[in-house]
Every structure is written in structure tokens, then in C-alpha cells.
Amino acid sequence: MSTTDLTAPQATALYERAKRVMPGGVTAGGRFNPVLGRPYYFSHGDGARLWDLDGNEYLDYSSSNGASLLGHNHRQVAEAVQRGLARGTICTQETVEHVELCERLVEIVPSAERVRISNTGTEATMAAVRIARAATGREKILKFDGHFHGMHDYVMFNVHTPADLAAQQLIPPLTDTPGIPQALSDLVVTVPFNDRDALSAAFDAHDGELAAVIMEPISYNLGCVPADREWLAWVREETRRRGIVLIFDEVLSGFRMCLGSAQEHLGVTPDLTTLAKALGAGWPIAAIVGSAEVMDVLGPAGKVVVSGTYTGQLCSVLAAHAALDAMSEPGFYERLNAVAEKLYDGFGRLFAESGVPGHVQGIGARFGMYFGVEEEVADYRRATGFDADLNNRFLRGCVEAGLHFHDFGTKLAPMHYGTTSAHTEADVELTLERLAPVFASLAEGRTA
């Protein structure tokens, strides 16, 4: 076991300072960790490891909520950013690297014929919805229960649907935060994921009204819940037949298991795709990609406005190039997926040998842990059946074991975690050694 100092005197003192100048003592609500009762304060990261202010070392399985797919302090990414800094603080201007990045995405991502660069996943999904509305002349969007598409008002519905409502076929639109006008709920239709009957009924009830269907083709925001392949192929056919724009939110799933992302993995090509996180290897950059027919509503080719001062800041563009270079290397995904599968197999043995109920679902370098749930999870309703208390005990044990599994503490479904290309098989073996007493403690607690 690790010798992690849970008293963390420097972190505790810094949190007291932070509470005097920041709401809740954090710069973002999701950075408060309920297991610790404060945020983590890290001093630096390298490869698959992080070090906090009090000198504790952690093997990192949060990887910046998925952004650090290449690990921390990746050499080629750091060198690319340094080259960008040496060229001046270039933003609001085009460079040859901007054109080349868009050319690369068109070559790599099946749905990409046109590309518009953005800054964040939230901005990308906001733009995608606007593009879809302009392209169709319609206003309503359909989303799936438990899927998260960013922080803007048009999509921040039904990420945390109460469990008693999640069993319905047509789920009432519920805002996920105060401050969203209730009037916007008239523009949102929500149904269960992977449910053909519910979606067919919604299509019929809102025929001619839907601008877009937006989904996470692999919902890592539910831990790891993929679309059923046959269902997804049917969704593609139905949206095309009804003139609805199909949007894949691949902010998390993008580049996670193969270079062509979840749409290549699942064999279905949407009209629009949003990319972020792994695209910049930790640097802020996003992209909206899609068919020429839909994307050419954007100015100056069309009249739709999607722009911004920091859109395509040069350092982020160069970081994305370096990230794509790394992910395009021969054997990259074979190694990435092999290390991830070794971890998932190890988790399976720990659940089985300890008798702790639950299982792991993972695709590529991202996964979810479903404590208390033995059967496969295919939708939000089943994901909410996880044992939150057991999950939190596990997370507490991981802190003591020097393993970083961050948790927001407010979700009704499990958090997502992941490996990086910096993780090695030796790291996984060490992780499983550290997890063995954690699972033993969970098993003892259930029989006490």
C-alpha cells in the first residue's frame, strides 16, 4: 500500500484560503472532491503519475476527465507548444497549421468533410445544435437520458433524471441546474438510450419538428454505455429519412479506442460530430466536423455565426497536431487497448475473488465501474442502480492506496475513468496490487 498522507496539511490550508475568495473554494464545481471534503491540489504530473502539494504520488486514472489521453507532460506536445510560444501569441489569425489540422481531421474522421475549430466541448455542441437548426429550419432537439453535452442551456437537461422518471418511455425535460429558462424545455425531447420503441414514438410525436438527435455514441458520462450497433444503424436510417441531423458528441469518445473514434468503432457515420478533450492532449481545443451539405451553412460560406477570439489559438493547434502524430504512430492503439484490457480483466478478477458485487465496462482507454450491478448496463436507468455508498468507500480506499480516481459526488450514475498511452503493463500490475486490499476491505465491510 501507498503511504499517502491523508491529513495533507498544505492542501487543507490552501483550501481554507480558497474558500475566502472562490465560491465553494474551487474554480469549477466539479473539482470539489466529496470523498476528500476538498479539491485535490496537484503540484505537477508526468506520464501516468501526479504529485500533490504534500508530496503524495498517485497513479492517475482520471487523466484530466479524459483530456490527457497521452498522459501528463508528453514530450512532443510540450515541444509543439513551446514552438507556438516562440512564434508569438497568435490568435484570431489563420496559419498553415490551421488548414493542415482540418485536412488531417477530414482524412481521419469518417463524418468529416468540413471542419470548424472551437475551444471547448461545450462550445462545440452549442455550435452543432445551431448548425442543425439552421440546416433544417426546425428548433427542437432530441437527446438521451443521462447523456451530457456540455454546460450551455440548450442541452443541460436530464443528465440527472430522478430514477422514478427514468422508467418512462417519454421522459419529461428537466433542467440540470438553476438558471436555465424553463421555456427552453419546450425545445427538448428526452428518451431512454438504446430503446427503439421509445425513440420511434418520439419521432412520430414530433414529426417535422426535430432539428437534431444528439447523443454520445459511447456514453462515458454514464460510466461506459455504448449504443447498440443495430439500434444505432436504425437511428441513422430514421434520421436520414425524416430529415433530422444526427449529431455524435464525441468530446469524450473521440480518439479513445481508434483514430476514427466511436463512429469508426461502431460503423455508423453521423451528419455532425463534436470533438475535444483528447484532440488537444490537455490543451483547450475542440472541433465541429460534418458533411459539406450541413456545415456549409456556416459563415462566410453561409449565414450562421460560429466564431471566437481564442478559437484555434496557435499553441492549441500545434498541440493537436502533436497529439494526432502520436495517435497515428504504428501500434499506438494496439498498445493503448492492450493495457486497458489488462486493467479491466484485473478488475474482473478482483470483483470475482472478493465477492464484492459489481463489474467494469470499458471500451478503449475509458471505463466505468458499476458497484452493486451485476448485469450489463445499457441505459441510464440501469446505471443509476449502482451502489453509491460502496463506490465512495472504494474511492476513499484508492486515495489511501495512491490511486487517483476523481469523483464529482453529485451524479446519479458512476463517473468515468481511464488509462493513457503513458500507462504501462507494470503500472497496471502495481495498480491491481494496491487494489487488492481495497477490495478486501470492501468485502469485510459488507459482512461486518
pLDDT in tens, 366-398: 999 999 999 999 999 999 999 999 999 999 999
**Distance between CA atoms of 190 and 327, rounded to whole angstroms?**
35
Same-domain pairing of 14 and 80: no
Please name the helix (run of DSSP H) or strand (run of DSSP E) that holds residue 440, with its range, or none.
helix 425-447
Domain of residue 278, CATH code: 3.40.640.10
Which own/partner pairs from 50-58 qualify as long-range (CB within 8 Å, at least 24 positions apart)?
A: 50/404, 52/8, 52/11, 53/8, 53/10, 53/11, 53/14, 54/5, 54/8, 54/9, 54/10, 54/11, 55/5, 56/2, 56/4, 56/5, 56/8, 56/402, 57/2, 57/402, 58/4, 58/402, 58/403, 58/404
Grid cell digits, residue 153 = 442551456
pLDDT tens per residue across all 448 residues of the chain: 445 666 789 999 999 999 999 999 999 988 998 888 899 999 999 999 999 999 999 999 999 999 999 999 999 999 999 999 999 988 999 999 999 999 999 999 999 999 999 999 999 999 999 999 999 999 999 999 999 999 999 999 999 888 777 677 778 999 999 999 999 999 999 999 999 999 999 999 999 999 999 999 999 999 999 999 999 999 999 999 999 999 999 999 999 999 999 999 999 999 999 999 999 999 999 999 999 999 999 999 999 999 999 999 999 999 999 999 999 999 999 999 999 999 999 999 999 999 999 999 999 999 999 999 999 999 999 999 999 999 999 999 999 999 999 887 666 889 999 999 999 999 999 999 999 999 999 998 765 5
- Residue 23 within any structural domain of the chain: yes
CB atoms within 10 A of CB 209: 16
> What is residue 338's predicted lDDT score, i.e. its pLDDT?
98
Grid cell digits, residue 13 = 490550508
> What is residue 4's predicted lDDT score, i.e. its pLDDT?
64
- Residue 365 within any structural domain of the chain: yes
Same-domain pairing of 55 and 118: no
CB 119 within 8 A of CB 310: yes
Same-domain pairing of 223 and 282: yes
Residues in the chain: 448
CB 358 within 8 A of CB 387: yes
Grid cell digits, residue 223 = 460510466
| Of the candidates 21, 78, 22, 19, the residue with the CA atom closest to the CA atom of residue 46 | 78
Strand partners, 250: 275
- Residue 3 within any structural domain of the chain: no
> What is residue 6's predicted lDDT score, i.e. its pLDDT?
64
- Residue 102 within any structural domain of the chain: yes
Same-domain pairing of 373 and 438: yes
Same-domain pairing of 137 and 286: yes
**Distance between CA atoms of 285 and 323, rounded to whole angstroms?**
12
Same-domain pairing of 150 and 133: yes
Backbone angle region of 186, left / alpha / beta, with phi > 0 → left and psi within -120 to 50 → alpha: alpha
Q: In what order do the strands lie in the sheet with 140-144?
A: 114-118, 286-290, 272-275, 245-250, 210-215, 140-144, 188-191
Of 302, 327, 352, the residue that ends a domain is 327
Residue that has been written with the C-alpha cell 437511428 in this structure: 235
Same-domain pairing of 82 and 111: yes
Domain with 424, as residue range(s), is 9-73+331-447
- Residue 89 within any structural domain of the chain: yes
Same-domain pairing of 285 and 339: no
Q: Number of helices and strands (H, E) in the chain?
A: 14, 16
Helix (H, G, I), strand (E, B) or coil at 223: coil
DSSP string, 368-433: EEEET--SPP-SHHHHTTS-HHHHHHHHHHHHHTTEE----S--SSPPEEE--TT--HHHHHHHHH
Give the CA dihedral 126, 131, 133, 137, nearest 10 degrees.
Answer: 160
> What is residue 170's predicted lDDT score, i.e. its pLDDT?
79
Helix (H, G, I), strand (E, B) or coil at 297: coil
Domain of residue 373, CATH code: 3.90.1150.10
Same-domain pairing of 336 and 356: yes
Q: In what order do the strands lie in the sheet with 403-404?
A: 42-46, 49-52, 57-60, 403-404
Q: Specify the number of domains making up the chain.
A: 2
Of 263, 295, 327, the residue that ends a domain is 327
Same-domain pairing of 265 and 377: no
Same-domain pairing of 227 and 250: yes
Please name the helix (run of DSSP H) or strand (run of DSSP E) that holds residue 446, with its range, or none.
helix 425-447
CB 145 within 8 A of CB 168: no
Of 295, 311, 327, the residue that ends a domain is 327
DSSP state for residue 227 in the 8-state scheme: P
Query: Model pTM greater than 0.85?
Result: yes
- Residue 1 within any structural domain of the chain: no
> What is residue 35's predicted lDDT score, i.e. its pLDDT?
84
- Residue 26 within any structural domain of the chain: yes
Same-domain pairing of 101 and 182: yes
> What is residue 447's predicted lDDT score, i.e. its pLDDT?
59
- Residue 4 within any structural domain of the chain: no
